[in-house]
Amino acid sequence: MKRMRVLQIVSGLSIEGPSGGSGRFVIELAHALDQARFEPLVAAIWDYHTGFEQKWRERLFAAGVRNVIAAGWDEAAPYRSCVRSLQALQGRSDFAADILHSHGEFTDLAAIYLRRPLRARRIIRTVHSALEWSKRPFYGRLFANLCYPLAFDREVAVSQRATDNLNRRLLARLRRRQAQCIHNALNFRRFDDLRAQADRAAQRAALGLPAGAPVIGTVGRLVAVKGYRYLLAAMPLVLTRQPEIHLVIVGDGVEGPALQAQAQTLGIADRVHFTGARADVEALLAIMDLFVSTSLVEGLPTVVLESMAARVPVIVSEIPGNLELVTNGETGTVTPTADPPTLAMAITAALAEPDRIRGLAAAAYHQIRARFSIEAVADQYAALYCELLNTPRE
């Protein structure tokens, strides 16, 4: 039987940089699809020149997943970068596919444009955020409300809130086009294998952390929507009750210089460790006593899932994406969004009761292991692909 060709389209393969959680998900999904039935392909729109891309390309090739990066990203000429990537991909007949599956804002437009030159029978998109085109709201209203319900054969969202947003659109309701919720997912083996060999002491020493100091941490792009300024604002209050604590911030982004300046102004620079973009996030999670997410908007946050998979207790902001993962007092702690004093109280209370928060972390791990494995989610996408092409699942 001929295999179904499915081309996953993502902005880039710099998982440690701009591509983030959606890029990681695309790679995991391509790995998890049954290659006896599907031929997975991956197309990255841009090379962000971070130095991480080649590693991920090699991992995909090693798993039998052909992949391509269309063009280089030029920060000074974004529209030219878009045109170059589309021109490069439209000529790649070797990446023609039965289904084009988009995972981002510009990649949605790319999927529509590439449908004919890549001879796709169906195109679908997965929405990874509860707020699309946050930097260009007009585009979000135009494309998401008026274009996508007509252009795409199916729309998927990674959280129930994002799905509900899609289903409220007038044109989608008039056309009776219901979006489908398929959650983000993880390859839990990444964390199970790490747990058996983690050397917390060596990792902490490498970051200059005192051996016995409590460590809280966070991971993500250093951008305003992640709310890191509120975490930094909470730190002086935390230090009055936990004077030995250290904060590790993993990631890179445009807000980096401003956040480092804020730490200096608050007089806490010696307790805040900015690691930059790192390829060993799993190992860094293993050194944390507590993970804190202060995001203002999320779809279904991969990094919170990763922290729970690593059995790290979590504190998260009270936004819809987080609330689909964390139940306050049962699998973690939920705090009001953008509220440094309350966040500081939650951090100090958590660190004062290590047995309690370890119990929450254990409960969180068992809950997400049952619901968010990449194998289960890959099966859901496989069923969707077969439905779209009217092909038997077996």
Nearest to 10, CA basis, from 163, 117, 125, 99:
125
Are 219 and 283 within one domain? yes
Q: Do residue 123 and residue 246 come from a single domain?
A: no
CATH of the domain at 345: 3.40.50.2000
For residue 210, tell me if it sits in a domain: yes
Same domain, 119 and 260: no
Q: Say whether both 208 and 265 belong to one domain.
A: yes
User: Are both 113 and 155 inside the same structural domain?
Assistant: yes
Is position 393 within any domain?
A: no
**Owning domain of residue 310:** 189-371
What does the pLDDT profile of the chain (394 residues) look like in tens digits?
689 999 999 999 988 878 778 889 999 999 999 999 999 999 999 999 888 899 999 999 999 999 999 999 998 898 899 999 999 999 999 999 999 999 999 999 999 999 999 999 999 999 998 888 878 888 888 898 999 999 999 999 999 999 999 999 999 999 999 999 999 999 998 887 665 555 778 888 889 999 889 999 999 999 999 999 999 999 999 999 999 999 999 999 999 999 999 999 999 999 999 999 998 888 899 899 999 999 999 989 999 999 999 999 999 999 999 999 999 999 999 999 999 999 999 999 999 999 999 999 999 999 999 889 999 999 999 999 999 999 887 6
C-alpha torsion angle, residues 223, 227, 228, 234 (rounded to 10): 170
The amino acid occupying position 217 is G
Cβ contact 152:110 at 8 Å: no
The alpha carbon dihedral of 194, 196, 202, 207 has a sign of positive
Same domain, yes or no: 355 and 366: yes
Distance CA 173, CA 162 (A): 15
3-state secondary structure of 217: strand
**99-102, strands of its sheet edge to edge:** 66-72, 38-47, 4-10, 99-102, 122-127, 154-157, 180-181
Q: Are residues 284 and 179 in the same domain?
A: no
Residue 206 lies in a domain: yes
For residue 195, the model assigns a pLDDT of: 52
Per the CB < 8 A criterion, the answer to whether 66 and 6 are in contact is no
pLDDT of 19 reads: 78
At 320 the three-state DSSP class reads helix
Query: Do 272 and 295 reside in the same domain of the chain?
Result: yes
In a domain, 381, yes or no: yes
Q: In this structure, are 236 and 309 located in the same domain?
A: yes
Which residues have a Cβ under 8 Å from the Cβ of 315 and sit 6 or more positions away?
A: 290, 291, 292, 293, 332, 333, 334, 335, 343, 346, 347, 350
One domain for residues 225 and 177: no
Asked whether residue 394 is assigned to any structural domain, the reply reads: no
Q: Structure tokens of 134?
A: 């946050």
User: Is-contact 303 325, C-beta < 8 A?
Assistant: no
* Contact (Cβ atoms closer than 8 angstroms) between residue 316 and residue 334: yes
Strand intervals (E) in the chain = 4-10, 38-47, 66-72, 99-102, 122-127, 154-157, 180-181, 215-219, 246-250, 272-276, 290-293, 314-317, 333-335
Largest CA distance in the chain: 66
Long-range pairs for 388-391: beta carbons < 8 A, 24 or more residues apart: 388/99, 388/121, 388/122, 388/124, 388/153, 388/154, 389/4, 389/98, 389/99, 389/121, 389/122, 391/4
The reported pLDDT for the residue numbered 204 is: 87
| Domain count within the chain | 2
pLDDT of residue 119: 97
CA separation for the pair 322, 301 (Å, rounded): 7
The pair of three-digit structure tokens given for residue 214, joined into one six-digit string: 């409590």
Residues written for the chain: 394
The reply to whether 278 falls in a domain is: yes
Q: Are 250 and 218 in contact (CB under 8 A)?
A: yes
Residue 308, in any domain of the structure: yes
Are 128 and 151 spatial neighbours (Cβ–Cβ below 8 Å)? Answer: no
Query: Do 133 and 228 fall within a single domain?
Result: no
Residue with tokens 């409220």: 168
Domain assignment present for residue 277? The answer is yes
> Quick one: pLDDT at residue 269?
97
If asked whether residues 52 and 158 sit together in one domain, one would say yes
pLDDT of residue 199: 74
Query: pTM value?
Result: 0.91
- pLDDT for the residue numbered 10: 97
